[in-house]
Amino acid sequence: MRKWLGIALAVIAADHFTKFWVTSVLDYQEAVPVLPFFSLVLVYNTGAAFSFLADAGGWQRWFFIAVGIVATLIILRLLRTHAQQPRLAFALALLLGGALGNVIDRVVLGHVVDFLYFHYRSFAWPAFNVADSAITLGAGLLIWDSLTGKPAPADTAA
């Protein structure tokens, strides 16, 4: 279990280190092109994914903090139960680190710091951060694990 908590802490550290760096070098909404399809841009998200509920008036901050805390408790229980299943535990550790990274932002700042911005011509993906990346990767691994996990034992009743 310690190994997986260490991975979650590494996600939180990477998330907050990058957020600290970006907020120290960019002004709000300043964009710095890095590649033709990728820029660093400092934005704040008071909502959830794709700015869901961003303009809800403030109550969403506490709602998303509560959701993050509940998710953390569930993930910790699942990690304890499945610590010996590396792929599943790694996915859960990524989800845990990502969820806590964004919860910390919401508690301390009242919003989440986003800065990774992918775009091409008129198409643009909403800005996101390291925590969001860990959540996405963790969710993808959970799906993969559920599709490729151990097959159910064959029924031996005759």
What residues act catalytically? Answer: 114, 132
CA pair distance 45, 144, nearest whole angstrom: 29
Q: Which residues of 2-30 are buried (b: 16+ CB within 10 A; e: fewer)?
A: eebeebbeebbebbbebbeebeeebeeee
E strands present in 5-143: 31-35, 38-45, 112-120, 123-124
Q: From CA 156, how far away is CA 138, in angstroms rounded? A: 35
Q: Residue 47 gets which letter from DSSP?
A: S
The partner residues of 118 in beta bridges, in order of sequence, read 38
